[in-house]
Each structure stands twice: as structure tokens, then as C-alpha cells.
A and B are shown apart, each in its own frame.
Chain A
Amino acid sequence: MSVLEKQPPEPEAHEHHHEEPFWRKYIFSQDHKVIGIQYGFTALIFLLVGFSLMLMMRWQLAFPGKPIPIVGGLLGSANAPGGIMLPEFYNQLGAMHGTIMVFLAIVPLAVGAFGNYVVPLQIGAPDMAFPKLNMASYWVYATGGVVMLASFFVPGGAANSGWTSYPPLSTIATQGQTWWLVGMIFLITSSLLGSVNFIVTILQLRAPGLTLMRLPFFVWSQLVTAFLLLLAFPPLEAAGVLQLMDRIANTSFFTPSGLVVSGEVLDVAGGGSPLLWQHLFWFLAHPEVYVLILPAMGIVAEVIANNTRKPLWGYRSMVYAAVFLGFMSFIVWAHHMFLTGMGTTISAFFQTTTMIISIPSVIILTALFISLWGGSIRFNTPMLFALAFLPMFGIGGLTGLPLGLSASDIHLHDTYYVIGHFHYVVAPGTIFAMFAGIYYWFPKITGRRMNETLGKLHFWPSLIFMNGIFMPMFVQGLAGVSRRLYDGGMQYDHAQDVLQWNSFMSYSAFGLLAAQVPFLINFFKSIRWGAAVDSNPWRATTLEWAAAPSPPVAHGNFPEEPVVRRGPYEYSVPGHDSDFLPQHAAVQEA
């Protein structure tokens, strides 16, 4: 037996040349591929910005009161007189690091970039369902980003009440907080436009024969993610509006009566509830954390299936687990609020839901592990990052459990243990998955492959330094060291024994920066000079590789509409000469 039309037509075969003006083609483009790339670049730059802010903080944590090298002088006397960081500035950096990383770097990269570029291709669609909306969502996002960055330059600097912006601290905070709220409203709007677009695209634009249970797992992860964004963000928008009112219309939604701030009785009507904000915030922010992880799991699943050369084990259970995860993530939010004075019944409820929600993650990871068994594993760079994701997410996820039990959370809450927990999931977890995605789909976008040697030079140091940064945080957390400490705990006796780790973690962070150099070189060099590849260099089964040229046809993606005949991961099907059966390939019986 043999497979017809295994190789998609080569790029040059299908270039129709009706030229558009530059700005239409690259700036205000409505082509999902261009928008995806725009999202990608912007998000990567924000990722670097978020990292840079943190590098300054890590310097301060390692060497409190020592002037910051290189940039120290440029920060201005309001932030760092003589290059020495002030606590006010440290808090700005902390809040903005969190905000930028979550809302401006990872989500736009995972959803805006990968989702936009890959989803229509994987479902055999010519574009997203609403191209204009798609363009709008990018530009609204970009605007939000500009507002956030600009806030550093307003009097009092950027928001400094943590990415969680708990009132009343945020209500009495400097003007930067107002900018933060406005910026958030832009980002939320952008996400809403995006999520509507994704859901419609996935449900409506699937190629003939592409039933839901034939969708690549990545598409499923994007579908669930889109629903989370769609339904979880509006409450934060509501909360944002209320806090905005508190700040500019002097209302007191979140401020009770009789507060005395620095000796003065606060002049507000009062009667508000600070905890109301926390409920609204975490109602978004917990689903949000699964928004950070689901697309990552999706990418990892694609890469693993492709590089083990066998179908994903338990694809169905993975899909059900992801959907279940989506539902559950709406009823666990108060596990961030155990210590706000919660009774036994309510805490019991949220502990239980929190334990339940850990099960689907266990299922998905287990399925991915077992998928390795019996495979013929190729250790290329995307695969290395995808494989590293598993134990890293494992550590992050497992350390979520003691936090999810309110009793053990008493000692660990708001310590570095929490910081360690979620960085393991978002940094060596999600960021690694993002890298896997970049190395994996780079040839799709450019028609060229990234360099393997540089790729491995990027991977191994990154893996080591990531752990160097985040593993000691568990030790500090167990010792009871609070997070968000300007001096990293120097003041406290109970922190003395674990203080030495601060410089260790910081050096690892600087090392991590150095480890990105090979990536940057590789990335920009390969765009022009990378080894040219045919349309399906990884010999993949999914439509984006098998049915479209690399790069895909400028408008419409596919030379002709693919008709799907089978599931997403038909690798090493017994009785076939080639070890992969593209989803759309017609099989000719001999």
C-alpha cells in the first residue's frame, strides 16, 4: 500500500501575486498568519521586558542597597538614586513583572501568536472567522501594552500594589494604578475579541471530515482556553471598572468606613468590602493560570506525538480531562484566599474542588508520559523542550497540592514557596513549551529550520539555570520567608539561614539571560540563513504541515481545501511503507 499526495505542493507552486500596499500587508494586515507573527514578536519582546524588570529585582535581592550595574544610572533619582533601587521602585517592578509576564507576554504568545498562526492551519481553514476582529484584537492589545509601559513615566511611577492590586492599598496608590486599570481594560477587551474569534473559527471553519474527536490536541487546548478567557475575564473587567470608580469618582466599593491612612481618617462614604475585589480578581485569575498552561500542554502534545512517531496515548481521555479542567477552574478561586478569615465549610469546599482539579492535570501528564512508551524518540530541540516541560510542570503542579490544603497553606501562604510553585509551571513549564513551539513551527513560518547545535546550547543551560532560580525558593518558603520583600528577608531572623540562596538564585537568573543569547542568534540568523526545508520537514500528520506549503499560501493557506479522512496522530500505522499518514491523505489499496 502507498500514500498518495503525501507531500504537499512546494511553496513556489502556489504564489499568486496580487500585491498589496506594505501597510495593508504587514501593519494593518487581516491575514491570521501575519497577525500571529505580529503577536509573536510583540509578546517575545514583552517577555524580554518582563525578564529585564526581574533581573533588576534579582540584583537588589542578591545585593540589597548596592547600585545596579549598567542600567542603574538610567533609572532616575525618583526610582534609584545613585543607582540604588528604592522600595517604591521594587514594588513597581514586582507588580509590572507579574502583569507583563501574564497578560502581555505569555498569554499573547500562547494564544495570540501560536493560536492565531496554527489553529486555522490545523483545522484546514483559509483564515480566522473574523479577520477584521482579529486585527482589532491585536491593535487593542498593543495599545494596552503601550499604556502599561507608559505608566512607568507618570508621577509616582507604575502600579506598585502587586499584580493582584488588592485594595485599599491599590485605591490609595499613586496614579500609575489608574494607568494599570486602563491598560487592563484594553487587554481584557482584546482577549474577549480574540476568544470569540477562536471559538467561532474552531467550531465553524473545520475542514470537511474534521470531526471534534479528530482535532489535534493543540486545537482542543485553544478551544478550552478561549472559553476560559471569554467567561473569566468579564468579572475582572467589572472589578476594574469598580476600582477605577473608587480611584477617580471617590466611590468606596472596596473601602470600608473608618480607615486611618498615615494619621488621616480616609474621607470616603465607606461601607465597601476589600474582599469583594479579591473574589472578582481570583475568579478571573485562577482560570487565567490554566490559560497559561493549556496551550503549553497542547504544543507539548503535538511535539511529542510527532517525535515519538506514534499516536498520543489516551487522546480521548486527554480531551475530556482538558474540558473538565476548564469547568472546574471556575470553582477553585478562593484557594488563594484561605487566610482572609474563612470558615470550615467554605474552605472545605474550595480545598475539595482544588484537589479534584489536580486530577485532570495528572491524567493529561500521565497520558503524555505513556505516549513515550513504545515510541521511536527523536531528540531534536523542540522535543527536548517539550520533554523538559513534563517534569518541570510536574514539580510546579505537585507543589500546588500543599498550597491547596488550607491547613498546610497557613505556613506557606505568601511565602517564596508560592513563588516557586507557580514559576515552575509558568517558567520552565510554559516558557519551555513556548520555545518548543517556536523551534517546531519555525520552518512552517519561514520555510527554514533553526540550527540544532545552537538549539541545544539554548536548551541545556536554560534547564539548569531555571532550576537554579526556582528550586531554592521552596527552601526559603518552608523557612517562612515572605514574598515581595524589597531586601529579600535580610531584616528577619528566621530568614538568616536561607539568605545565602538569594545570590545563588540571582546568579542563576543572570545565567538564564546569557543562555538566551544562542536563541536570539539562532532565531534571527535562521530567518534569513537557516537551512531551507521542504514543506513537511518533521514528517507530521496534521494539516498545517501535510496539506499546506511552508510558508502557507498568502491568502487562503491551502492550495485546495483539504478533506480530512482520519485522526490527528496516525503515525507508524501497521502495514504502511511510510511511518506517518497525513490526516487528509487518500490511501490507495494495492
Chain B
Amino acid sequence: MQIPYTVEERPDTGLYNAKLGVWLFLASEVMLFGALFSSYILLRTGDPSFMIVPHAIAEQLGHAGHGELRWPAELNVPIAFVNTLVLIFSSVTIVMSWASLRLRKLDKFRLWMGLTLLCSLVFLVLKAVEYNAKFSHHLLPGTANFLAIYFTLTGLHALHVIGGVVVNGYLWGPGAKMWKSDPARFTNRVEVAGLYWHFVDLVWIFLFPSLYLL
């Protein structure tokens, strides 16, 4: 006996195995980031001085005297905004890559998936630049709880991006061999990778305003 529904959909659930699998996995991811977001809200509402930059830091940042400095201040909104666009664009490109497979066009798939990878790398580079700037100003996770949350949430998200790069990179490179042997299944894999990537994108769309703007 072979394992059924690896490619075709099961009539009564209307899903193939991997697709159901990834939806469940994303459900658990929602709980993971959901818990972290709630922690953020709880800490922020629980501690009146959460958003206030500690005096020492404010001075060291040259804001001495000009009244109290409040938090998102030090974060680099332009970079984060660009990153948001980059990720949204990458969500489009990965859909295109899947669509091209549905149209039986492997080269087109290579192109679009390549673009997706490029976007992810741009995102990571910009993130690195951002982190670097913080560190050089001695803004570390331990400096204040706002930064702690900032580094934890964005860091965990960055790990998810890296995970995406690995998977997509595999499908773009060696994994594509499967196109010869089992095109339908390969297309499914790309679809599943796409679903994951949309989620990573979505998380950032929550992170951006809640950390950089509010």
C-alpha cells in the first residue's frame, strides 16, 4: 500500500496532505506569535514607563533636556517601510512562481522564485543594517524592555525569513529536479512554501506598525 493523497485532494476534506499539514503548522505559528504579541501588549500596558527611554540612554543619544523621549523614536521607520514593501512584493512573486508552474513554465518559475529569494535577501540585509545601528549606539535587548521586545519579535521573524530562504532556495535549485519526475507534486510543494511565505509576510505586516509606528 502507498500513502494516499500526497498529490491529489481527498474528496471529503478537499485537501492534499501537505496542504492540510501546512495550514495546521501555520495555526501553531499563529499561537506562537499571538503569545508574543499578547506579552508585548501586557508588558506595555502593565508598566507606565515601558515606552519612555531611560534617562541615561536619552542623554547618550543626545536628547538630554528636550523633555522625555518616547520609544519608537530610535527605530528606523524608512528602512522598515522599505522592508515592508519588499516583503509584500515577494509575496506576489512567489504566487507568480507557482502560477508559472501551473502553466508548465519551469524557466518562468525559476525567474519568479529567484526574485522572491532576492527580496528575502534584501530584507535580511536591511535588517542586519538596522540591528548594527542599534548595537553601535549600545541599544541592546537588555537596555530596556521595549528594545527587548523589539529584538525578540523581529529576531524571531528574521529566523522565519531565513527558514523561508532555505526552503525556497531548495525548491529553486536542487529541489526543482522533481519537476521532471513528478511535476504535480512539485507544484504542490511550491504552493505550500508559498502559503508559509505569505504567513511570514503577514507577521511582518503586524510587526511594522505595532513596533515602529504605534
Are both chains from one complex? yes
A245 to B39, CA, bound (A): 14
Give A558's nearest chain B residue, CB to CB.
B1
Given A127-B3, A200-B24, A245-B152: A250 touches B141 (CB 8 Å cut-off): yes
For A558, what are the chain B residues with a Cβ–Cβ distance below 8 Å?
1
A164-192 with Cβ < 8 A to chain B: 192
Contact status A200-B142, CB under 8 Å? no
For B20, what are the chain A residues with a Cβ–Cβ distance below 8 Å?
199-200, 203-204
Q: Count of chain A residues with Cβ under 8 Å from any Cβ of B?
A: 46
A255-293 with Cβ < 8 A to chain B: 268-273, 276, 280, 283
A522 to B4, CA, bound (A): 39
For A126, what are the chain B residues with a Cβ–Cβ distance below 8 Å?
1-3
**Chain A's nearest CB lies how many Å from the CB of B102?**
23
Contact status A235-B1, CB under 8 Å? no
A242 on interface, CB distance cutoff 8 Å: yes
A139 on interface, CB distance cutoff 8 Å: no
Contact status B42-A130, CB under 8 Å? no
**Chain A's nearest CB lies how many Å from the CB of B12?**
9
Q: Mark A227-243, 1 if CB is under 8 A from B, else 0.
A: 00011111101110110
- Which residue of B4, B27, B49, B145 contacts A231 across the interface (Cβ within 8 Å)? B27
Contact status B50-A271, CB under 8 Å? yes
A232 to B145, CA, bound (A): 25
- Which residue of B17, B29, B50 contacts A234 across the interface (Cβ within 8 Å)? B29
Q: Count of chain B residues with Cβ under 8 Å from any Cβ of A?
A: 43
B210 on interface, CB distance cutoff 8 Å: no
**Chain A's nearest CB lies how many Å from the CB of B50?**
6
A561 on interface, CB distance cutoff 8 Å: yes
B139-165 with Cβ < 8 A to chain A: 140-145, 148-149, 151-152, 156
A205 on interface, CB distance cutoff 8 Å: yes
Contact status B156-A241, CB under 8 Å? yes
**Chain A's nearest CB lies how many Å from the CB of B36?**
5
**Chain B's nearest CB lies how many Å from the CB of A435?**
31
A276 to B43, CA, bound (A): 8
A539-574 with Cβ < 8 A to chain B: 556-558, 560-561
- Which residue of A129, A195, A271 contacts B49 across the interface (Cβ within 8 Å)? A271
Contact status A251-B39, CB under 8 Å? no
Contact status A196-B141, CB under 8 Å? no
Give A557's nearest chain B residue, CB to CB.
B1
- Which residue of B4, B27, B36, B143 contacts A269 across the interface (Cβ within 8 Å)? B143
Given A276-B42, A276-B43: A205 touches B141 (CB 8 Å cut-off): no
Residues of A within 8 A of B (CB): 125-127, 129-131, 192, 195-197, 199-200, 203-205, 230-235, 237-239, 241-242, 245, 249-253, 268-273, 276, 280, 283, 556-558, 560-561
Q: Known contacts A272-B145, A280-B35; can you find 12 more A-B pairs with CB under 8 A?
A: A195-B28, A197-B21, A200-B17, A204-B15, A205-B3, A241-B36, A250-B141, A269-B145, A273-B42, A276-B46, A556-B1, A556-B2
The 6 closest A-B pairs by CB, nearest first: A250-B142, A251-B148, A126-B1, A234-B32, A556-B1, A235-B35
